[in-house]
Amino acid sequence: MARDGAKRAVLIAGPTASGKTALAIARARQSGARIVNADSMQVYGVLDRLTARPNPDELARAHHEMFGHVDPSVRYSTGAWLADAHKQIQEADKENQELIFVGGTGLYFDALVSGFAQVPAIDPEFVAEAEKLIQERDEAGRMALLVERDPATARRLKVADPQRVVRALSVQMATGKTLSAFQDANGPGLLDDYALERIVLMPERGLLRRRIGERFAAMMEAGAVEEVEALLARDLDPSLPAMKAIGVGEITAMLAGKMDRDEAVEKAVIATRQYAKRQSTWFRNRFRDWTFVDPFAG
């Protein structure tokens, strides 16, 4: 229960494998808080282990919401996440329950705290067209294209992450209006009347790299291959976000005989480390007023 009637929420962000789940559960057990997922891959069903969702024992230790609640066939958006998060906030408020938002998706936290641009739903054909535009471009090339199409959004991005560049390009192509123009018309944040504790977990880089390698090896042993087989059996559109989860492509190639198990693991680990580096850069640049903590120090 929230003490002395105050509304409180804890926001726990950080790169993949930084210990967010353990901290969230520890804090929730102290306060009876409701843990709400803020990770764009952990929302999808089927990929339990491959997205490092809390396991059944962890889920049983605290009240968890919005983990695996979206079918992989769905293109789940930040707007959809925010609408679902709003329902959780309302439910927690009724129960006088503290909230813990935990995950690695910075855009979710931004929308939660600073408001969200009401961008219309974008037809998948525009997303596919944007993906083709950046397919052969490195980071510098993606940024150059974004500067040309949406210079304001380009200035806001410290890293030309493929997903965010595709988002900006597809919005511009579909609506004739830049993503930055929509963002400048943000609505209010959902936690404006809450006392917020904002934490970014940032382990030492070498330790984080090692944890990523160990964790992916454990995922493979715990059923990641079977999860990908189940996903492939559904014959889903390969452009869907769930199909682009790190490890899906590598394990798919392994199952097709295009690489062996060791190579699949190596490539997935490299991709995960690159993703963690992008996350870390994003958090350092955008969340400078948050409290940065090394959960494994000392």
Binding site listing for substrate: 16-21
Whether the CA torsion 40, 184, 171, 275 is positive or negative: it is negative
- Please give the single-letter amino acid code of residue 192: D
Dist CA 267 CA 42 (whole Å): 21
Dist CA 55 CA 178 (whole Å): 40
Residue stretches of the annotated binding site for ATP: 14-21
Cα of 283 vs its chain's centroid, Å: 12
Report yes or no: 114 and 226 within 8 Å, Cβ to Cβ.
no
Residue stretches of the annotated binding site: 14-21
Nearest to 172 by CA among 187, 189, 153, 186: 153
Taking each helix axis from N to C end, the angle separating 162-175 and 139-149, rounded to the nearest 10 degrees, works out to 30
Dist CA 220 CA 226 (whole Å): 9
Strands (E), the chain: 8-13, 34-37, 63-65, 99-103, 195-201, 291-293
Report yes or no: 124 and 171 within 8 Å, Cβ to Cβ.
no
What kind and span of H or E run contains 166?
Answer: helix 162-175
| Token digits of residue 58 | 């962890």
Which residues have CB under 8 Å from 221's CB, separation 6+?
none
What is the spatial order of strands in the sheet that 99-103 belongs to? 63-65, 34-37, 99-103, 8-13, 195-201, 291-293
Report yes or no: 105 and 90 within 8 Å, Cβ to Cβ.
no
